[in-house]
Structure 1
Amino acid sequence: MTFILSIFAGRLIQMQGLDSKVYEAAAADQRQHTETIPAKRGSITDVNGHDLAVTVEAREVSIDPTKVPADVRAKAAAILAQQLGKSEQEIAAKLARTGTHYQLLARDVDPVVATRLLQGPVPALSAKKTYKRLYPAGELAGSLIGFVGDEGNGLGGMEQARNSLLAGRDGEQRVETGRDGQRIPMTSSQRTAPVDGQDVRLTIDRDIQWAAQKSIGEQVRKSEADSGTVIVMDVRTSQIVAMANAPELDLNNWRKAPASRYSNKAAADVFEPGSTNKVITAAAALEAKAVTPDTVYQVPDRIRCADQVLRDAHAHKVEALTFRQAMAQSSNVATVMAARKVGSQKLYEMLKAFGFGSTPGGGVPSAEAGLLPDYRKWSGSQSCTVAYGQGVSVTALQMASVYQTIANGGVRIEPQIVAGTTDATGRFVPAPAGKQTRVVSETTAEEIATMLESAVGEEGTGQLAAIDGYRVAGKTGTANRYDAELGRYEGYTASFVGFAPADDPRLVVLSVVQNPKNGHFGGELAAPVFKDVMTFAIKSKKIPPTGSAAPTVRTRAGQ
């Protein structure tokens, strides 16, 4: 008996002394919980600091159903539903789950509402500090900005592309809680502070973005088109001043929007550019000394290329046209004649130099490379059609970049969408300038600019792009549109892209209208959009007319 008592005594000493710290530690581990302290997401603003995406404080409201008496559940459900914007059935179902101590009632609750509920008659409520994302401008640049999902991660546009920068780093806190989940007073806690996200300032100008969206939206509706795009770009920096799509994504109702609106079509949608591509053929021909602006061609209205007969947009007798006039009148036949003097390899190399077939740098979300087949794989007819923009595919961003290069004296600058960010101290850090590459000589760029100015003149296809008091250079485009769903060409892509002032370029504006039903020519549908947006932009930026007159140029053979 003495032996047995000694064993019990020894075990008691072990439990009270030797093992007490072990049991103490195990009990503490059961009581300790790690709570996440959310970081505040950085803002996205336009170039002038106007908020496009902001984060504000919110509350996550929850309840312990086990502490809500059955006889008050109906009343509690009515109060909670009314305050939280939920249905009474949904709230009542959560209150009935008495097998759990936790039911999430609502996220993104206004702190004032949460405080009112905590001070009200409903028992066992808790409110956790969180943040919610707001988009003050609604659908302004919606697909470019993107949105944030319930877990706090960017799910599209700049929100996704710059997620790690914007999101910051969450902190955490280890606390001791009782069986009811409430924190035990006077117990120790360990806290790691969150690091808030940094702000991102875009190159977008809010007002010009609004004007671009308004103009292209109206034209899409009027022409019954599938969609439309406008890009405004600064010639000297390649900063994107506006990037508009129609229809656009309303960021405050993104869950209800069709998935097709999530895509930033200006950078992601690929299409055959048509005649706006002729400037590249002209650049290749001029650089190779194969033509001059005054080279005269005897131009029929059709030309055979392999097994195809290619035609101009309108039937005509054989005409004597200068290369300048052929560009102004957008002659497919004359463009093919010039391309044949250059050859497929040199034309392909020039397309590559202008950025075709490569994903643009500069941080534009969802930017695509387009499609530029190797010239050795071009079909017989494709070796001709590429010259006027069929058989090669680009994005609106790539085509705007082509005209920025011409307007900038032949120097291509990578398009830029981010003006800068804030560092950890809140100091603004400008983004580095885009990479510069000379594509064509300054002389070639000036000659093309002069031809593009003729295209907006009395004999050109872009007359509806003319702006009173300003010299404008640009080019229309009307291309057959490949429909991937149908697996064939169906409908048209109408476009216009140009710059102003023509003799001292400051801005490039591109407009694209996809699959219009009322009309289909670029000079008819896209040129007026260019005029609207460019007129607004040059006034907004206070760009004065140069005051010079367009040079007298030889357009017709014999003049």
Structure 2
Amino acid sequence: MNDRPPLMLKRRNFVAMIGFGLFDLLIGSRLVTIQTLDAPKLKKLADSIHFRSVPLAPFRGNITDRHGRLLAGSHHAFSAYAIPAQTKSRKTESILLADILDMEQSRLLRRLSRHQGFVWLKRRLTPKELATLKSQLAALPGIHLVTETARYYPEGELAAGVLGFTGIDNQGLAGLEMVYDKYLKGERGALQEEFTAYGENMPFARQRIVPSRQGDTLELSIDENIQWMAERACEHAMIATGGRAVMITVMHPKTGGVLAMAQRPTFNPNHFKDFPAKNYRELAVTDAIPPGSIFKPVTLASALEAGTTNPGAGFFCPGFKVVLGRRVNCWRPSGHGAESLADIVKNSCNVGFMELGLGMGVDRFYESVGHFGLMHRTGIDLPGEALGLFPRKARVTALDLAIMAFGQTLTVTPIGLITAISAIANGGELLKPHVARAIKTPDGQLVRSFDGQRVRRVVSSEVASLVQRMMIGVVDKGSGKLAQVPGYKVAGKTGTAQKVINGRTEKGIYIASFIGFAPVPNPAAVILISVDEPQGAFYGGQVAAPVFGRLMRDILRYMKIPPTEPIKKPRVGEAAMVPDLVDLSPEVAYQDAAVFGFPVQFKGQGKIVVDQSVTYGGYRPAGTLLTLTLGDHPRDYLQWVTVPNFRRLTVASAHQLAFELGLNTAVRHNGGHGQVVHQSISPGTQVKSGTTVVLDLA
């Protein structure tokens, strides 16, 4: 008898053994994977279930000026949180907490009743709330305190629109805080504690701390001292002119770095919720405005680069130009007569610039303006940059082109225009504007640099130099005389543009501007001043040029740039412009007055000059004694003007004198065309700048 199992049974046993073997291999491999490869992940998952995590906010990276001065920093702040599972009598605790934290009891009760391991009660406690809560913690089981960080701005309103501000979680919400948030925010940490399945504390519980990492430091191109100068100039100009808004931007032409960007109205980022949201915008970036005549240097440089004009070109201004059957007036109705190319710049002659624009033609004009970057965003590292508006090229007529050539029927952003003028100031190179200069680790290692980002060459160095020289004439002999800085060659351009409201140009509402740079050659700073809707005097040469002159003088002194030009004192008796001495120390006022040819005497006591006997900007014989009043609180400059004696002056001379003093004039001919025989306001009367004096002619 054969007891051996049949072959079929053997095969089945073999298959079963292989199956069990594969199953055991699968289970074993899975166990190995769990114990080795997946062990860290599974342990982390288990810890997340058994460990309660309280977030530890990192210190946000500092923001400093170009010299390392702190503009935005962080400090410790205390916040209250709850672990609902540890609370005992939630209703009682919510009542007590409502009184301590000044919050609604129902809101606190809802938070304490949540099925969560961690709940915020109130962030950033006040010192009083913190002290009271600390004294009551024994009676509040499940309520805890944690140290956080909070942002602060030590200089208050200084460069507020540039810096921006942060939210409750230290996240950037505006300005540079938002643009560079990924660098500034750092990395969160956590305080972790083991707890039971019921969410309660357990004996011998493990605790661990995951440290936070401080954010990187943002170093700006802004100079804190220059920024303060610009802020002060903004404040004075806002009060003195009664303008709706004032913007001042200072740029370093060789790097494209913004040295200062100030505006009024503004806000305090430490208390940003107390200000209207419209104040958060940096107007030089977010608003496109009609530039008026400060656009003319771009037209001039474009025409010279295109070869459609030359320094020897001649022009004639009868006071208007007819284009396509429409008469377009120059700002001076009587005209400028025969002029050279330099003259149309010095006189800001609209007729001359219309001819420059028409000489280029639409295609070359648009190509050149685009080359200067004015038809595109500059890419500056601030949020909300606007785009300048130009008529569609295909629909532009000769009339449109003629008017655009002197800065109307188009809009540009102030940051775009100062970037274009900086290209003229630095010899023809267009650079990308920027506010951040460098990003550094907390220990000072360089992460990224932003200086000198070249875009392209826009004009030759020869053309740039020629335009600079012609812009010097505007300040030396033209409409920008009040922008002069003794001892330095200043190049500039005044501008007065009618505002466009709801798509229509409004008569009687203006933007007064001045743009310029110094010293020439080798400019150290370019400044753009813009005053929106000044009350009274509205010409850029009356309103904005003096602000430029004061600010540029302060900047050059601060930079310790020695005078580049000999200062020629006028001879005694020779007509000389009275300098602005208000807000200066007695020593500096004495020196400035001597430069212009005026001796001074002081009265009163104080550290600064608060008033001067002859209003600045007018002309007096050199050697005239000026009386300077000393005090501690200066009178607002640009506000009051002494009416001169217009009698026996020609119309042209009277208009020029009124312009230089900041007055407006209206002529009542009475059939005469000769000299002034009567004026509506007596000589010597103190009036507000911008007052109109009616003149009668013989």
> The TM-score by the shorter chain falls in which range?
0.7 to 0.9
**Please, which runs of 5 or more residues in structure 2 have no aligned partner?**
1-43, 569-698
Cα deviation digits, residues 469-524 of structure 1 (max 9, x gap): 221110001111112xx442232111100001122311111101112233221111
Match of 2:471 in 1: 452
Cα deviation digits, residues 220-242 of structure 1 (max 9, x gap): 23222221111111122221100
Map 1:351-500; keep pairs closer than 5 Å. Answer: 351-423=369-441, 425-429=443-447, 431-436=449-454, 437-458=456-477, 460-483=478-501, 486-490=502-506, 491-500=509-518
Does the 8 Å CA contact 1:281/1:387 hold for their aligned counterparts? yes
1:109 aligns with 2:128: no
The correspondence for 2:236, drawn from 218, 223, 247, is 218
Shift of 1:372: 3.4
Cα distance between partner residues in 2 of 1:39 and 1:47: 24
1:251 aligns with 2:266: no
Shift of 1:133: 0.9
The count of aligned residue pairs is: 516
SS at structure 2 position matched to 1:241: strand
Map 1:537-556; keep pairs closer than 5 Å. Answer: 537-547=555-565
Match of 1:274 in 2: 292
Shift of 1:183: 4.3
Does the 8 Å CA contact 2:475/2:492 hold for their aligned counterparts? yes
SS at structure 2 position matched to 1:215: helix
Cα deviation digits, residues 43-94 of structure 1 (max 9, x gap): 111111121111112121135795469789877655x25xxxx4xxx36555
Go from structure 1 to structure 2 and tell me whether the alpha carbon gap of 1:236 and 1:370 turns closer, same or farther (over 3 Å shift).
same
Match of 1:348 in 2: 366
Cα distance between partner residues in 2 of 1:454 and 1:129: 62
The correspondence for 1:52, drawn from 71, 86, 110, is 71
Match of 2:23 in 1: none
SS at structure 2 position matched to 1:358: coil
Shift of 1:175: 3.6
Cα distance between partner residues in 2 of 1:219 and 1:189: 60
Does the 8 Å CA contact 1:348/1:374 hold for their aligned counterparts? no
Cα distance between partner residues in 1 of 2:286 and 2:368: 22
Please say which of residues 99-108 and 304-313 is displaced more in the overlay: 99-108
Does the 8 Å CA contact 2:320/2:335 hold for their aligned counterparts? no
Cα deviation digits, residues 331-366 of structure 1 (max 9, x gap): 111100122222121111111111111111352333
Match of 1:18 in 2: none
SS at structure 2 position matched to 1:498: strand
Go from structure 1 to structure 2 and tell me whether the alpha carbon gap of 1:261 and 1:181 turns closer, same or farther (over 3 Å shift).
farther
Cα distance between partner residues in 2 of 1:503 and 1:260: 39
Does the 8 Å CA contact 2:516/2:528 hold for their aligned counterparts? yes
RMSD between aligned residues? 2.9
Letter in 1 for 2:544: A
Please say which of residues 330-339 and 181-190 is displaced more in the overlay: 181-190
Go from structure 1 to structure 2 and tell me whether the alpha carbon gap of 1:95 and 1:303 turns closer, same or farther (over 3 Å shift).
closer
Does the 8 Å CA contact 1:307/1:380 hold for their aligned counterparts? no
Shift of 1:417: 1.2
Please say which of residues 165-174 and 466-475 is displaced more in the overlay: 165-174
Match of 1:302 in 2: 320
Letter in 2 for 1:117: L
Match of 1:123 in 2: 140
Does the 8 Å CA contact 1:176/1:183 hold for their aligned counterparts? yes
**Please, which runs of 5 or more residues in structure 1 have no aligned partner?**
1-24, 551-559
The correspondence for 1:160, drawn from 170, 175, 178, is 178
Match of 2:27 in 1: none
- Whose radius of gyration is greater, 1 or 2? 2
Match of 1:200 in 2: 218
Go from structure 1 to structure 2 and tell me whether the alpha carbon gap of 1:544 and 1:306 turns closer, same or farther (over 3 Å shift).
same
SS at structure 2 position matched to 1:381: helix
Cα deviation digits, residues 421-446 of structure 1 (max 9, x gap): 11365424461433322111111111
Letter in 2 for 1:123: L
Cα deviation digits, residues 257-277 of structure 1 (max 9, x gap): 111111111111101111111
Match of 1:43 in 2: 62
Go from structure 1 to structure 2 and tell me whether the alpha carbon gap of 1:252 and 1:99 turns closer, same or farther (over 3 Å shift).
same
Go from structure 1 to structure 2 and tell me whether the alpha carbon gap of 1:72 and 1:509 turns closer, same or farther (over 3 Å shift).
closer
Does the 8 Å CA contact 1:496/1:530 hold for their aligned counterparts? yes
Cα deviation digits, residues 102-153 of structure 1 (max 9, x gap): 8744312368974673244653331122111111111111111111112321
SS at structure 1 position matched to 2:514: strand
1:332 aligns with 2:389: no
Cα distance between partner residues in 2 of 1:254 and 1:162: 19
Does the 8 Å CA contact 1:58/1:131 hold for their aligned counterparts? yes
Letter in 2 for 1:38: A
Does the 8 Å CA contact 1:453/1:474 hold for their aligned counterparts? yes
SS at structure 1 position matched to 2:58: coil
Does the 8 Å CA contact 2:426/2:522 hold for their aligned counterparts? no
1:260 aligns with 2:281: no
SS at structure 1 position matched to 2:243: coil
Letter in 1 for 2:504: R
Identity %: 30
Letter in 2 for 1:416: H
Cα distance between partner residues in 2 of 1:514 and 1:181: 62
Letter in 1 for 2:337: E
Does the 8 Å CA contact 1:301/1:311 hold for their aligned counterparts? yes
Go from structure 1 to structure 2 and tell me whether the alpha carbon gap of 1:73 and 1:168 turns closer, same or farther (over 3 Å shift).
closer
Cα distance between partner residues in 1 of 2:97 and 2:175: 41
Cα deviation digits, residues 164-193 of structure 1 (max 9, x gap): 111122234554334785543433467644
Does the 8 Å CA contact 1:59/1:108 hold for their aligned counterparts? yes
Match of 2:41 in 1: none
Cα distance between partner residues in 2 of 1:35 and 1:530: 54
Does the 8 Å CA contact 1:356/1:372 hold for their aligned counterparts? no
Shift of 1:448: 0.6
Cα distance between partner residues in 2 of 1:300 and 1:261: 45
Cα distance between partner residues in 2 of 1:331 and 1:412: 27
SS at structure 1 position matched to 2:544: helix
Higher relative contact order (Cα pairs below 8 Å, separated by 6+ residues): 1
Give the TM-score of the pair, scaled to structure 2. Answer: 0.68
Letter in 1 for 2:78: R
Match of 1:9 in 2: none
Shift of 1:325: 0.9
Shift of 1:328: 0.8
Cα distance between partner residues in 1 of 2:452 and 2:224: 22
Cα deviation digits, residues 290-319 of structure 1 (max 9, x gap): 322332211111112235321111211460
Does the 8 Å CA contact 2:511/2:538 hold for their aligned counterparts? yes
1:514 aligns with 2:532: yes
Letter in 2 for 1:497: I
Letter in 1 for 2:212: P
Match of 1:20 in 2: none
Does the 8 Å CA contact 1:335/1:388 hold for their aligned counterparts? yes
Cα distance between partner residues in 1 of 2:482 and 2:412: 24
